[in-house]
A and B are shown apart, each in its own frame.
Chain A
Amino acid sequence: MENIKNKIKVLKNNFDEGLVQIKDEESLKELRNRYLSRKKGRITLLLKELKNVSPGERPEIGKQINELKDYVQKKLEEHSKELQEPKYIKSKIDLTLPGKRRYRGAPHPILLYKKKIEQIFVLMGFSIEDGPEIETDYYNFGALNFPPHHPARDDWDTLYINDDLLLRTHTSPVQIRVMEKKKPPIRMINPGKVYRRETPDPTHIPMFFQVEGLVVDLGITFAHLKGTLECFLKALYNEKIKIRFRPSFFPFTEPSAEVDIVCTVCGGKDLNCRVCGGSGWIEILGAGMVDPQVLKNVNIDPEKYSGFAFGMGIDRTAMFSFRIPDLRNFYENDLRFIRQFS
């Protein structure tokens, strides 16, 4: 009795060992015949031995043999599937060949940088405004507290169309236009192209991008100007950036300030640094409290409301951030340059 039980065990082991060796359909067929052939299959022969088993044990042994048969059949079927070629993915190819790529366009670095700046201000609750590039003398100068024939105008070298029309030299006219239409509270930035009569060289170009901002409300102070700009600069650069505010002059703000950051290239450590000229600081923003005359010009009462304004050149800032030596690189539109920013 033990004998036949043992035979079942051995047969199963033999089959498993045999199956592992099988690498093609032909040998699989042979294996099937060896175990399941109707005449001489080993399992068939084992079933024939069943009659020699005592009737009491016969159902138990019979069950074991049938289980073995099912097992073998199942295994053979599975193995047969494994040997078959896949239906959909067949070919044998060097999968390390280069992949097929689709080209995706790259943003212009200045507009990429502009967007980064805009996003910070949008998070701080500023709206984004714009206005025309051809401006009148009034919006570009007069309303911003530049008296006619004042030498301050010389600091904004202007391209004129006629006596009254010009290409805006800063985006500040947009602030005037918005203040004419909206009442405080106002919290806006106005990015855009501006023009100066400058012959192109590594640090001057006749057209560039600026972003300016304006906050007008009850109780706005110089401390708010500092807080807002520090918050912005930390978001743009990093939390640890060193920032300095120093007095300056703009006709449209009073008090006025210029904001410097520690040189992004030498960190203030190189006396011969080409970027900061050895001073250790680079000028990054102009700012100030909105001049009371500017508020009067747009019928906002400077006794009741106050505000601050600021402006920065996007090109210049991007130049420092990306460490690009020459502003003209931005306007050559060489794809080898632009595509680095994708």
Chain B
Amino acid sequence: MKISINWLKQYLNIKLSPEKLIEEMNNIGLLVDHWEEQDGDVILELETYANRPDTLGHLGVAREIAACLGISLTERKFPLIESTEEISDAFDVQVLEVDLSPRYCGMIVKDFPVDPSPPWLMRMIRAMGLSPVNNVVDITNYVLFSTAQPIHAFDLNRLKGNKILVRKARKGEELKALTGDTISLTNEMLVIADDKRPVALAGVIGGEETAVTEETRNIFIESACFDPVSIRKTWKKIGIQTDASYRFERGTDISFPPEAARMTASLLTQIGGKALKGMIDIYPKPRKKKTVVLRHHRVSELLGIEIEEGFIIDFLKRIGFELENQREGIWRVKVPYFRVDIDREADLIEEIARFYGYDKIPSHIPVLQGIDLEVNKKKEVEDNIRELLFHEGFDEVVNFSFMDSEKEKLFETGLEAVEIRNPISSKASLLRTTLIEGLLGNIAWNVNRGAEGVHVFEIGNVFFQKDGKCFERYFLGFAGMGQLDPVFWQEEPEKSDFFHLKGTCEELLRYLKFDDFSFSREEHPFFEKNYSLCLRFKGEKIGNLGGVRESIVEAYSIQEPVWAAEINLGSLLEKQPKPFKYSPVSRYPGIVRDISFMADQDVSYQEIKNCIEKLNIPYLEDYVLYDRFVGEGISKDKVSLSFRFVFRHPERTLLAEEADSFQEKIIKTLSTEFRLNLRGGGQD
């Protein structure tokens, strides 16, 4: 909110430079974002806090500065020019909703000349960033920005029946607001009504039909206190926030409406007209001041420094609190009405700290109490994954968790996406169901900017809903396309392909010590038919990998195949990795046997691998497929597969006969299970 230094000077006798004043204000929590000189004045842009509505006017800000500087507020006088007519004879107010309108004050000024404001007032209104309207509207605004008490002025002659009712709106009632909008009222809304109809939405906005115009002569001044929650619900519903509702919803000083009404009437009558005698003040349930118990020892216990009793008493009094000593070091503190934020001892301790100065509180490192050391496993795995993927040449990205519904359709995830009720845009109306969508976007972005190869990964949550419940799952996605390494003059650069992607998956699981993984063929909505695998750990599905479907790749205008994988890290982390166990290195020579088979093309490597592992050959240290060949010299539907087996005994030299028998067993089993034939000359 804007604060004018000239305006402050009506309450304070200060001669500080703006810089010095701003520093003092910052120290007590009145943060000035920036300031500028304007028409011989200095305007401060003050940060506002939801719990400090008392600082939403110059008086409140002045009160804080006065306390801080140890000076007193200048008392302002608001003399009235009164007529002999009594207000109680002329007008009637009935409050039907006392809970929503705990206090309602009214005054009347008659025979007032509505004109443009005098120059001093115009300057003040302009200082607040507003345009002057007329002397009535400007005076109500002046009172609001002075005291934080909203004032509404009605054209008295247009109020039917010389009467105001503060009541809830009735079904079907409407109000033509000052903004020109016609608002349909609902029966939770509090209205100000005359004998016939609502004339204002209480505390939010006035009605056009009873507004002050150039023809207005007689004015009804409303100065009230309304229930914050009711005001907030109303303005949220109609979508109109005003300077008045902004203050009422934060809470106003219930003791203040009479003073604000008198101030308004005084300012008006100084220009012209006369105020009727007396004031309407409907305050059926007067509130007592809140009392809070403050214990001296709690101040040092919370702040970490001893603050003298004298300081505490002095400063709390300066900002309007009344202290009553109950016992040694214990006070009953009465809270001034304008401090709606103070309810508890901790709130008072904050007040003490604020004025004591945060900079005077010392800095200590807490003594560490024993806490069970907990390694964050998720974090550890995440770090390992990142390490490995960096090594494999993947760059890390972070995409927004939002997804375009059009893209969601393209990916056909089969999941029901979580919808955001109030999205920023239609392109961000869903929560992502897959990480691959973002990664494809990243590939397209970089290819469009000249990248020859893009390999990226992201770790993050994906979201979906099922049976009305929302779920989030912790995923890893990675995708790659094009050149892998920097260009090298000696050879063509290598490009990523499916087996680069699969190798990364294999290395990743091995690195994380989830060695019991396997792959099986499975169709998947993102991936090209017959180019998609399911990744399993101990048989349970934990991910998918494959070549991204052409129609998707094309939608991103990418001209090359994209290889992608997505792994459910959440479910993987629930599994137990293989515990690390050291095994001694054998000092005895191993026996290597190379065996080549002819196999039908439809036999899968994974099946052969499973079969070999099931055999549980003793002393089989390792085996690897080192060649695969189709083509010349081999019949069309066949493939040649060459394996290298290494056998080794940990405690003695393995005998050739033993290796022979193992080899025999492998050949025999594979031949019967898969109709594999030994390839001539393949045997070593």
For B392, the closest partner residue in chain A by CB is: A105
Contact A105 B455 (CB under 8 A): yes
Contact B361 A103 (CB under 8 A): no
For A100, the closest partner residue in chain B by CB is: B488
Q: Is residue A138 within 8 Å, beta carbon to beta carbon, of the partner chain?
A: no
Q: Is residue B451 within 8 Å, beta carbon to beta carbon, of the partner chain?
A: yes
Of the 9-residue stretches B130-138, B365-373, B519-527, B656-664, which lies at the interface with chain A? B365-373
List of B residues within 8 angstroms of A155 by Cβ: 50
Contact A195 B401 (CB under 8 A): yes
Of the 9-residue stretches A68-76, A77-85, A252-260, which lies at the interface with chain B? A252-260
Contact A248 B49 (CB under 8 A): yes
Contact A197 B422 (CB under 8 A): yes
CB distance from A329 to the nearest CB of B (A): 12
- Give the distance in Å from the alpha carbon of A115 to the alpha carbon of B380 in the complex: 12
Contact B488 A103 (CB under 8 A): no
Contact B472 A221 (CB under 8 A): no
For A155, the closest partner residue in chain B by CB is: B50
- Give the distance in Å from the alpha carbon of A245 to the alpha carbon of B370 in the complex: 29
Contact A108 B361 (CB under 8 A): no
Q: Is residue A270 within 8 Å, beta carbon to beta carbon, of the partner chain?
A: no
Q: Is residue B31 within 8 Å, beta carbon to beta carbon, of the partner chain?
A: yes
Q: Is residue B381 within 8 Å, beta carbon to beta carbon, of the partner chain?
A: no
Q: Is residue B424 within 8 Å, beta carbon to beta carbon, of the partner chain?
A: yes
| Set B29, B363, B368, B423: member contacting A223, Cβ < 8 A | B363
Q: Is residue A38 within 8 Å, beta carbon to beta carbon, of the partner chain?
A: no
Q: Is residue A268 within 8 Å, beta carbon to beta carbon, of the partner chain?
A: no
Contact B359 A244 (CB under 8 A): yes
Contact B398 A333 (CB under 8 A): yes
- Give the distance in Å from the alpha carbon of A111 to the alpha carbon of B365 in the complex: 27
Contact A105 B394 (CB under 8 A): yes
- Give the distance in Å from the alpha carbon of A298 to the alpha carbon of B472 in the complex: 25
CB distance from B500 to the nearest CB of A (A): 13
Contact A199 B424 (CB under 8 A): yes
Contact B428 A206 (CB under 8 A): yes
- Give the distance in Å from the alpha carbon of A337 to the alpha carbon of B249 in the complex: 45
With A100-B488, A185-B371 as contacts: A149 and B233 at CB distance below 8 Å: yes
Q: Is residue A92 within 8 Å, beta carbon to beta carbon, of the partner chain?
A: no
List of A residues within 8 angstroms of B397 by Cβ: 108, 333, 338
Contact B50 A103 (CB under 8 A): no
List of B residues within 8 angstroms of A133 by Cβ: 401, 461, 463, 472
Contact B301 A226 (CB under 8 A): no
Contact A247 B395 (CB under 8 A): no
Q: Is residue A151 within 8 Å, beta carbon to beta carbon, of the partner chain?
A: yes
Q: Is residue B573 within 8 Å, beta carbon to beta carbon, of the partner chain?
A: no
- The B308-333 residues at the A interface (CB cut-off 8 A) are none
| Set A118, A132, A151, A219: member contacting B50, Cβ < 8 A | A151
Contact with A along B374-401 (1 / 0, CB 8 A): 1010110001001001111111111111
Q: Is residue B169 within 8 Å, beta carbon to beta carbon, of the partner chain?
A: no
- Give the distance in Å from the alpha carbon of A226 to the alpha carbon of B423 in the complex: 38
With A223-B361, A251-B51 as contacts: A106 and B395 at CB distance below 8 Å: yes
Q: Is residue A207 within 8 Å, beta carbon to beta carbon, of the partner chain?
A: yes
- Chain A CB count within 10 A is highest, among B305, B364, B460, for B364
List of A residues within 8 angstroms of B228 by Cβ: 149
Q: Is residue B229 within 8 Å, beta carbon to beta carbon, of the partner chain?
A: yes
With A223-B364, A246-B27, A246-B29 as contacts: A255 and B350 at CB distance below 8 Å: yes
- Give the distance in Å from the alpha carbon of A45 to the alpha carbon of B376 in the complex: 87
Contact A107 B249 (CB under 8 A): no
Q: Is residue B631 within 8 Å, beta carbon to beta carbon, of the partner chain?
A: no
List of B residues within 8 angstroms of A306 by Cβ: 301-302
Contact B368 A127 (CB under 8 A): no
Of the 9-residue stretches B102-110, B413-421, B543-551, B600-608, which lies at the interface with chain A? B413-421
Contact B302 A221 (CB under 8 A): yes
- The B322-357 residues at the A interface (CB cut-off 8 A) are 344-347, 349-350, 353-354
Q: Is residue A279 within 8 Å, beta carbon to beta carbon, of the partner chain?
A: yes
Q: Is residue A193 within 8 Å, beta carbon to beta carbon, of the partner chain?
A: yes
Contact B232 A149 (CB under 8 A): yes
CB distance from B461 to the nearest CB of A (A): 6
Q: Is residue A49 within 8 Å, beta carbon to beta carbon, of the partner chain?
A: no
Q: Is residue A339 within 8 Å, beta carbon to beta carbon, of the partner chain?
A: yes
List of B residues within 8 angstroms of A160 by Cβ: 420-422
With A246-B358, A331-B399 as contacts: A151 and B31 at CB distance below 8 Å: no
Contact A149 B229 (CB under 8 A): yes
- Give the distance in Å from the alpha carbon of A287 to the alpha carbon of B394 in the complex: 37
CB distance from B358 to the nearest CB of A (A): 4
Contact A247 B353 (CB under 8 A): yes
Contact B29 A333 (CB under 8 A): no
List of B residues within 8 angstroms of A167 by Cβ: 401, 420, 431
Contact A223 B304 (CB under 8 A): yes
With A108-B397, A133-B401 as contacts: A224 and B376 at CB distance below 8 Å: no
List of A residues within 8 angstroms of B364 by Cβ: 221, 223-224, 226-227
The tally of residues in B whose CB lies under 8 Å from a CB in A reads: 94
List of B residues within 8 angstroms of A223 by Cβ: 303-305, 361-364
Contact with A along B284-316 (1 / 0, CB 8 A): 000000000000000011111100000000000
Q: Is residue B470 within 8 Å, beta carbon to beta carbon, of the partner chain?
A: yes
- Chain A CB count within 10 A is highest, among B246, B396, B457, for B396
Interface of A is mostly: mixed
List of A residues within 8 angstroms of B489 by Cβ: 97-98
Contact A110 B488 (CB under 8 A): no
For A206, the closest partner residue in chain B by CB is: B424
List of A residues within 8 angstroms of B420 by Cβ: 159-161, 167
Contact B488 A106 (CB under 8 A): no
List of B residues within 8 angstroms of A278 by Cβ: 34
- The B456-485 residues at the A interface (CB cut-off 8 A) are 456-457, 460-461, 463, 470, 472, 484-485
For B491, the closest partner residue in chain A by CB is: A100
Contact B49 A245 (CB under 8 A): no
Contact A105 B424 (CB under 8 A): no
CB distance from A172 to the nearest CB of B (A): 16
- The A227-266 residues at the B interface (CB cut-off 8 A) are 227-228, 230-231, 244-249, 251, 254-258
- Give the distance in Å from the alpha carbon of A65 to the alpha carbon of B192 in the complex: 133
With A102-B393, A333-B456 as contacts: A127 and B371 at CB distance below 8 Å: yes
With A103-B484, A222-B361, A249-B51 as contacts: A292 and B442 at CB distance below 8 Å: no
For A246, the closest partner residue in chain B by CB is: B26
CB distance from A24 to the nearest CB of B (A): 32
Contact A103 B486 (CB under 8 A): yes
Contact B422 A215 (CB under 8 A): no
List of B residues within 8 angstroms of A331 by Cβ: 398-400
- The A118-158 residues at the B interface (CB cut-off 8 A) are 118, 125, 127-130, 132-134, 148-152, 154-155
| Set B353, B369, B422: member contacting A185, Cβ < 8 A | B369
For A258, the closest partner residue in chain B by CB is: B31
List of A residues within 8 angstroms of B576 by Cβ: none
Contact B398 A222 (CB under 8 A): no
Q: Is residue B449 within 8 Å, beta carbon to beta carbon, of the partner chain?
A: yes
List of B residues within 8 angstroms of A256 by Cβ: 350
Contact B396 A111 (CB under 8 A): yes
| Set A108, A162, A332: member contacting B445, Cβ < 8 A | A332
- Give the distance in Å from the alpha carbon of A258 to the alpha carbon of B489 in the complex: 56
Contact A162 B455 (CB under 8 A): no
Contact B421 A246 (CB under 8 A): no
- The B95-121 residues at the A interface (CB cut-off 8 A) are none
- Give the distance in Å from the alpha carbon of A84 to the alpha carbon of B303 in the complex: 83
Q: List 28 A-B contacts (CB under 8 A).
A: A104-B393, A105-B390, A105-B457, A107-B396, A108-B396, A108-B397, A115-B383, A133-B401, A134-B472, A151-B250, A161-B421, A187-B368, A199-B425, A221-B303, A223-B363, A223-B364, A227-B362, A247-B29, A247-B353, A249-B29, A249-B50, A249-B52, A254-B344, A254-B346, A255-B302, A289-B346, A335-B456, A338-B395
Shortest beta-carbon contacts, A-B, top 10: A223-B304, A247-B29, A221-B304, A255-B350, A152-B50, A249-B49, A227-B363, A105-B390, A245-B358, A333-B397
Besides A152-B51, A159-B423, A161-B419, 5 new A-B residue pairs in contact (Cβ under 8 A), listed by A number = A101-B488, A106-B395, A134-B463, A167-B420, A185-B370
